[in-house]
Amino acid sequence: MLENDLTPLQGMIIDRFFDLLPDIWLIDGLANRCAYCGTLMRLHPNNKLFPQGRCPIRQCIGHELPKVSEKLDPNKDILRIAKPQILTYWTGPAIDELAIFDSAKQSSLNAELYPESDLCDIAINERTIGIDAKSYTSPVTLGLRLNRSIGGLIYYRRRILAVSDRLIEDNPSYISTLKSTLEKKGDAASLEIMSVSSVIEFLKKMPYANQT
């Protein structure tokens, strides 16, 4: 912070959003960084299966076997970890959002991340398609919120809601429960609901995909 002349306000944000790394996060005295999302890995009860720990981010685990990118020594640097609510409601959902966006760009689609001050998570061909990734544990809670407002998706001709694959693995009836909760009339009825992996496959098959 001193080297980059950061303002006191930014210092307050660091203190509010991050905690000093507790010893419980250390594995053999070191902090192991996840190779896929950059979050620090945590000890797992099954030490034989996960000897280097496991990423605590639900959207990250399951994609690949745990892998450590680097080991950090808390005796050499002051280490901080984002607060649990930041990891759950900010870092986790961003993994799905970035996976969708990266797939769209790899397919040579005209994609924009968080367009027009975050009307949605990913826009395709300006306002042709709007995509929002959601990771609410309860499909009923999500449905009730969508019945009140679908947010910036209202401005897109095609409106897609992408549900985390991890949630569907834990609750196979997640999407059907969500659909049954949505009102049959109104803005929520216009939503197309898919898993994140299905959205990625849909984008790969769009016209002009995989063309430069």
Considering the domain architecture, whether residues 66 and 167 belong to the same structural domain is answered as no
Q: Are residues 121 and 198 in the same domain?
A: yes
Residues with Cβ within 8 Å of residue 155, at least 6 apart in sequence = 119, 127, 130
User: Highest mean pLDDT: which of 85-89, 94-98, 154-158?
Assistant: 154-158
Judge whether 2 lies within some domain.
no
Look at residues 82, 109, 133 and tell me which one is the last residue of a structural domain: 82
- Please report, in angstroms and rounded to a whole number, the separation of the first and last CA atoms in the chain: 42
CA dihedral 64, 65, 70, 71 (to 10 degrees): 140
Which of the two residues, 121 and 210, has the higher pLDDT score?
121
Only one residue has tokens 């975050």, namely 118
Beta bridge partners of 172: none
Quick one: pLDDT at residue 212? 41
Residue 64 pLDDT > 70, yes or no? no
pLDDT of residue 202: 95
Residues 60 and 146 in one domain: no
22 and 120: one domain? Answer: no
In a domain, 151, yes or no: yes
- The verdict on 128 and 66 lying in the same domain is no
Which residues constitute the domain of residue 157?
85-204
What pLDDT score was predicted for residue 66?
A: 84
DSSP string, 79-99: -EEE-HHHIIIIIHHHHHHHH
Q: Do 77 and 96 sit in the same domain of this protein? A: no
50 or 156, which is more confident: 156
What is residue 1's predicted lDDT score, i.e. its pLDDT?
Answer: 66
Indicate the pLDDT class of residue 63, thresholds 50, 70 and 90.
Answer: low
* Nearest one of 130, 122, 128, 105 to 208, comparing CA atoms: 105
Question: Does the global pTM surpass 0.85?
Answer: no
Do residues 195 and 100 lie in contact, with contact meaning Cβ atoms separated by under 8 Å?
no
Residue 142 lies in a domain: yes
Q: Tell me, what CATH number does 135's domain have?
A: 3.40.50
Of 51, 82, 113, the one marking the end of a domain is 82
Residues 44 and 114 in one domain: no
User: Do 178 and 98 have their domain in common?
Assistant: yes
What tokens appear for 15 in the block? 């203190």
pLDDT digits (tens, 9 = 90+) for 91-149: 888 999 999 999 999 999 999 999 998 899 999 999 999 999 998 889 999 999 999 99
User: DSSP character for 160?
Assistant: E
Total structural domains in the chain?
A: 2
Q: How far apart are CA 88 and CA 210, in angstroms?
A: 33
